[in-house]
C-alpha cells in the first residue's frame, strides 16, 4: 500500500469551520470596526479624536489579520 501524499486535516486552523470563522472575524474588523465601534463610542460621549483613532486601529488590525491569513495560506486570495 502506498500512503496518500495529501495532508488531510480533520481539525485545527485549516478546517473549513475555522477558516470561515477567521475570515468573518477579519471582515468584521475591517468593515464594522471603523464604522460601528466609533459610532457607539460617540454615543457614549467619548472624544472624537479617540473614536477616530480606535476606528483606524481596528481597520489596520483587520488588514494585518487578513494578510496573515493569506501569507500562512489559511485562505487563498
Residue at 60 is within a domain: yes
Of 69, 17, 23, residue with least CA distance to 9: 17
pLDDT of residue 20: 87
Q: How far is Cα 75 from Cα 3, in angstroms, rounded to an integer?
A: 26
Residue at 5 is within a domain: no
3-state class of 9 per DSSP? coil
- Provide the residue range defining the domain that includes 49: 16-71
Q: Please check the confidence at residue 5 and state whether its pLDDT lies above 90.
A: no
Residue at 2 is within a domain: no
Residue at 48 is within a domain: yes
What is the crossing angle of helices 16-27 and 48-71, to 10°? 150
Of 72, 77, 55, 69, residue with least CA distance to 23: 69
Q: Please check the confidence at residue 65 and state whether its pLDDT lies above 70.
A: yes
Residue at 35 is within a domain: yes
Residue at 20 is within a domain: yes
Residue at 6 is within a domain: no
Q: pLDDT tens-digit profile of 10-46?
A: 567 777 888 888 889 999 999 998 889 889 988 999 8
pLDDT of residue 48: 85
Mean pLDDT, the chain, whole residue set: 84
Residue at 45 is within a domain: yes
Amino acid at each position: 500500500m502506498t500512503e496518500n501524499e495529501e495532508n488531510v486535516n480533520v481539525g485545527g486552523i485549516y478546517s473549513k469551520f475555522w477558516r470561515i470563522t477567521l475570515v468573518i472575524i477579519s471582515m468584521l474588523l475591517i468593515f464594522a470596526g471603523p464604522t460601528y465601534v466609533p459610532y457607539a463610542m460617540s454615543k457614549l460621549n467619548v472624544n472624537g479624536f479617540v473614536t477616530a483613532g480606535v476606528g483606524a486601529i481596528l481597520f489596520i488590525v483587520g488588514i494585518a489579520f487578513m494578510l496573515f491569513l493569506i501569507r500562512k495560506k489559511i485562505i487563498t486570495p
